Amino acid sequence: MRTELRIVAAAGTLPRLHAVGGLAARHTGPDTVHLIGTAATPLGGDEVDISIVVGAGARLIVRSVAATIALPGRHTRKSVAHWRFEVGADGDLDFDPEPTVVAGGAEHETFTTVSLGENARLRLRERVQIGRIGETHGHWSGELHADIGATPLLRHRLELGADAVTDDALSGPRALESVLTYPDARAVETAGLDSALLPLAAGGALFTRTASLLTV
């Protein structure tokens, strides 16, 4: 199944919503939208294509009503999601959905692109958990490319779970939290080997944390 979702926010009006497939969106406030699953997706073989555009001077908050569960399909285990975020000049996007859970035997790939205009503001949070209760064998990979106009902000790739390059049976993490914030002037912070806050050369910061289980 192919799922397409487009959200366009403009200053002074409710965001425009368009959805086809297994995902929909609902207005839950003047500048807030919640994502809602309408069918079991992503299954192996599914493709999800989501575009979120925040116009100049507009503000948008995006949440979801439940976790996303990636499941293996009958003929293939792999599903793919493309996320495209565009925030115009003086726009503000706060994106923080519930986690993605990659069920045992499933493989899920995400490709995320971010384009920021002048004085744009962004908080982009992603959380991933490999396996439901009692499951440890699943795989997730994610690529994140972010730019401020023509200036590169971030090129980032992570893998998690079974078959990941850095996975091992004793200490391989099964949960990930990643938060891209722009602007963000905080200095480098570390908290052991499992988390770090890193400032970016063009501004903003990237926080990452890995663990066996997600926390609230």
Tell me what pLDDT residue 38 has. 92
Tell me what pLDDT residue 161 has. 86
- Closest alpha carbon to 34 in 91, 82, 88, 95: 95
Select the more confidently predicted residue: 169 or 140.
140
d(CA 129, CA 135): 10
What residues have CB less than 8 Å from 107, skipping those under 6 apart? 44, 70, 72, 77, 78, 79, 138, 139, 140
- Closest alpha carbon to 139 in 84, 97, 76: 76
Strands 47-54, 175-182: pairing kind: unpaired
> Confidence band (pLDDT; 50, 70, 90) for 214?
confident
**Average pLDDT for the chain:** 92
Tell me what pLDDT residue 152 has. 97
Please state the pTM of the whole predicted model. 0.93
Tell me what pLDDT residue 52 has. 98
Tell me what pLDDT residue 187 has. 64
pLDDT tens digits along 122-143: 999 999 999 888 787 899 999 9
What residues have CB less than 8 Å from 142, skipping those under 6 apart? 109, 110, 111, 112, 126, 128, 157, 158, 159, 178
Tell me what pLDDT residue 171 has. 65
